[in-house]
Structures are given as structure tokens and as C-alpha cells.
């Protein structure tokens, strides 16, 4: 009989575990390194520097407009590698499943991980599954780690390499992912047209690397949004970053929902956007490469790096006034009125 529900036995290491691995994972993620089923995946040697990253994913609901936890997990790790200018070469995926989860939900998520990993061209070479009793986890948690290869000719971009005079480029609209998930979770009836921007950014970054010789920093502005990412960079590089409000594209639905809830879209998470900070001399070439890419068609120069005050981010508002752009304090909470 084919199982339709995750049982504790699926995590116990016996026949049921083997069945789960075969039925759900091996059939989808098939590749030579994984199929050997060793305790570790053995990879071919990597030339030069490599990047290594890990990220855990918990999202409620598991499925949202524009994606699901599986797509999010692969994209998140791929994008972290991409931000280091690293071509993803292998991923691992560890699942914590709640007893009682339906197989078809797990299969949909794994299908979606497979589809996006395939699109990027990165194999999932190692994995693990644990099952916890009902109530001990919320349906499914996924941890994806990844290694990537940094081309020998590239000085790895880093958040402490930004210098005064650099320009700040952004690959598109902000706030889409966070508001899509919030709208879905809270059943906000007025914002049904918001779609997560969840997407793998390696090919966009690849296109940038082809034209740029010296990228100072790349970062995908996820939790905490654009504001948090810029503040981290300003602080690590000890510079001031000044951003132009009117240059930051925001989808209409996102802007309306943020206005109504009193949320700053610059504090909202993105899952398919890249901040690219380059010397001014490189900016035109990089911008046009980004704009030619389907995931970067709305790219723009959103700001400039100054030397002081160190560690601060300013926003030039539409009125032409200057204000601080701060990191959000914690969870984003809608206001009362």
C-alpha cells in the first residue's frame, strides 16, 4: 500500500525511511553523487575559492502566490551563493517533517525544489529527513546548504568592501515576497494580486559577472528588507549610503497594502532581488546587463555611497527631504489605524 501520510516510522531509519527516500527524494533529485547513498556526497575537486552557505526555511503558509517553501529554500541558498559571486555547484536539503503531514504536500514541495534546482543547474547531492510528533513542528521545516565556485578572476564581493563614490543598483521592485505571504497568511482580502518575487538569481548575477571587473558588494535583501540590507552594508563598510525614494520601484498592490497596514515597504522581505554595489565607472555596463536579464528588467540605480556619517543610511524622499532609513526593530507589525 502506498502511504499517504507521514508517520513517525518514516523517520525511524527502517524500511519506511528507505521507502520515503526512494519514493519522494531519489525519484526526483536523481544525480550520481546522491544515488550512491553514501553517508556523505563526494564532489569533484573545486578549482580556486569556493563559497559555502546554509539557511533554514519556515514559512506559514507552505504555499503562497508565486512559490512555496521548497522553491523558497532552493532560491534562498542559491541567492546567498550568488551574492558571493559563486556559481552553485551542490546543495544539500534536510527536512524536519511533522507527523501527519500528507505525502502529496511533501511531494509538491520536493517537485518544486527539483524544478528550481534544475533551472539553476545545481544538483541536490545530500539530504536528511527527520519526523517529529504532531505539534512539535509546524508541518515542515527545510534546511538547505550549498557550495559554490567563485571564478578565479573575481575578487569576491563582500559587505565590507563598499567605498565612497560607489553606486547602488537594485534589480527590481521591493516588498513583493513579504506582502504576498502576509496577505495569504492573514487573509487580507484587499491584496489578492500580490505575488512573491521568489526566484533564483544566479543567472542574473552570472550576466553581471560577464561585464563587471570589480563588484564591491552584492546582497539579496531578504528579511528586514532593503532597509536592513543597506544598514548592514553601511555599518560593515563604515560608509553612508544615500538612497533615492523615487528610484525604488514598488508594485502598486504592495504599496497599497503597505499604506493600509502602516508598513514601510523598504522593511519587507524580498526573495528574488539583488542589490549590486559597484564603482561608478562600472555602473552603466552592470545596469544594462541587469536590465537585459528577465529578472532584472526593472533594475535601476537607487543610490550612492558617501564617506560620512559612517554606518548610516539616508533616504531622499519624494519631497526632496532627507531622512534616516533605519533597520526594522523586530517582527513587522501592522498599526492600529
Partner 1 sequence: MADDDWRMKYVDEFRDDKLAREIATEIRQEASGPLKFMEVCGTHTMAIARHGIRSILPENVRLISGPGCPVCVTPQWQIDSFIELGKLHDTILATFGDMIRVPGTCSSLEVEKAHGADVRIVYSPLDALEIARVNPTKRVVFFAVGFETTVPAVALAIIEANKLGIGNFFVLCGHKLIPPAMMALATDPEIKINGFICPGHVSAIIGSAAYEEIVRLSGIPCVVAGFEPLDILQSILMLVRQVVKSRAEVENQYSRVVTREGNVPGMKCIYEVFEVGDAEWRGLGIIPRSGLRLRPEYARFDARQFLSLPVVAEHSGTTGCECGSILKGVKSPLECRLFGKRCTPEHPLGPCMVSSEGACAAEYRYAR
Q: How far is the CB of 26 from partner 1 (least distance, A)?
A: 39
Among residues 211 and 256, whose Cβ is nearest to partner 1? 256
Smallest distance from partner 1 to CB 205, Å: 31
User: Which is closer to partner 1, CB of 79 or CB of 191?
Assistant: 191
Task: Kindly tell me the sign of the dihedral angle through the C-alpha atoms of 232, 93, 143, 114.
Answer: positive
Complex with partner 1: residue 2 or 335, whichever CB lies closer: 335
**Cα torsion for 260, 262, 263, 266, to the nearest 10°?**
100
Beta strands 312-316; 240-244: pairing state: parallel
**Residue by residue, what is the 3-state secondary structure of the chain?**
CCCCECCHHHHCCCHHHHHHHHHHHHHHHCCHHHHCCCCCCCCCCCCCCEEEEEEEECCCCCEECCEEHHHHHHHHHHHHHHHCCCEEEEEEEEEEEECCCEHHHHHHHHHHHHHHHHHHCCCEEEEEEEEECCCCCCCEEEEEEEEEECCCCCCCCCCCCCCCCCEEEECCCCCHHHHHHHHHHHCCCCCCCCCCCCCCCHHHHHHHHHHCCCCCEEECCCCCHHHHHHHHHHHHHCCEEEEEHHHCCCCHHHHHHHHHHCCCHHHCCCCCCCEEEECHHHHHHHHHHHHHCHHHCCCEEEEEEECCCCCEEEEECCCCCEEECCCCCCCCCCCCC
Nearer to partner 1, 91 or 229 (CB): 229
Residues that bind partner 1 (CB under 8 A): 186, 188, 193, 252-253, 255-256, 259, 261-262, 264, 317-324, 326, 329-331, 333-337
In the bound state with partner 1, the residue whose beta carbon lies nearer, of 86 and 194, is 194
- By beta-carbon proximity to partner 1, the closer residue of 192 and 213 is 192
CB of 5 to partner 1, least distance (A): 24
Q: How far is the CB of 318 from partner 1 (least distance, A)?
A: 5
* Minimum gap (Å) between residue 329 Cβ and partner 1: 5
Residue 159 Cβ vs partner 1, minimum distance, rounded to whole Å: 22
Nearer to partner 1, 18 or 333 (CB): 333
Rounded least distance, CB 185 to partner 1, Å: 10
| Cβ at position 110, least distance to partner 1 in Å | 32
Smaller CB separation from partner 1, 152 or 337:
337
Amino acid at each position: 500500500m502506498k502511504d499517504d501520510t507521514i508517520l513517525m516510522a518514516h523517520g525511524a531509519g527502517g524500511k519506511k525511511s528507505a521507502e520515503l527516500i526512494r519514493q519522494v527524494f531519489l525519484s526526483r533529485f536523481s544525480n550520481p553523487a546522491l544515488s550512491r547513498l553514501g553517508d556523505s556526497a563526494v564532489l569533484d575537486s573545486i578549482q580556486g575559492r569556493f563559497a559555502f552557505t546554509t539557511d533554514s526555511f519556515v514559512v506559514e503558509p507552505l504555499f503562497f502566490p508565486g512559490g512555496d517553501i521548497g522553491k523558497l529554500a532552493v532560491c534562498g541558498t542559491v541567492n546567498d551563493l550568488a551574492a558571493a559571486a559563486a556559481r552553485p555547484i551542490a546543495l544539500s536539503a534536510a527536512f524536519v517533517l511533522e507527523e501527519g503531514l500528507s505525502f502529496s504536500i511533501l511531494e509538491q514541495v520536493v517537485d518544486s525544489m527539483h524544478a528550481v534546482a534544475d533551472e539553476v543547474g545545481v544538483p541536490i547531492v545530500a539530504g536528511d529527513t527527520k519526523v517529529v510528533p504532531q505539534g512539535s513542528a509546524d508541518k515542515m521545516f527545510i534546511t538547505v546548504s550549498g557550495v559554490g565556485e567563485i571564478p578565479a578572476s573575481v575578487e569576491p564581493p563582500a559587505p565590507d568592501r563598499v567605498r565612497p563614490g560607489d553606486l547602488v543598483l537594485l534589480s527590481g521592485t521591493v516588498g513583493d515576497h513579504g506582502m504576498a505571504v502576509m496577505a495569504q497568511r492573514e487573509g487580507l482580502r484587499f491584496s489578492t494580486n500580490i505575488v512573491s518575487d521568489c526566484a533564483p538569481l544566479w543567472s542574473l548575477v552570472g550576466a553581471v559577472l560577464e561585464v563587471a571587473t570589480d563588484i564591491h558588494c552584492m546582497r539579496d535583501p531578504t528579511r528586514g528588507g532593503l532597509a536592513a540590507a543597506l544598514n548592514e552594508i553601511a555599518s560593515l563598510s563604515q560608509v553612508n549610503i544615500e538612497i533615492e525614494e523615487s528610484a525604488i520601484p514598488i508594485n502598486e498592490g504592495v504599496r497599497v497594502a503597505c499604506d493600509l497596514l502602516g508598513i514601510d515597504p523598504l522593511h519587507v522581505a524580498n526573495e528574488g532581488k539583488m542589490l549590486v554595489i559597484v564603482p561608478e565607472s562600472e555602473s552603466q555596463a552592470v545596469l544594462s546587463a541587469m536590465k537585459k536579464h528577465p529578472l532584472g528588467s526593472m533594475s535601476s540605480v537607487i543610490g550612492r555611497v558617501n564617506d560620512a556619517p559612517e554606518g548610516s543610511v539616508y533616504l531622499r524622499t519624494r519631497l526632496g527631504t532627507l531622512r534616516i532609513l533605519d533597520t526594522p526593530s523586530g517582527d513587522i507589525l501592522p498599526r492600529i489605524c
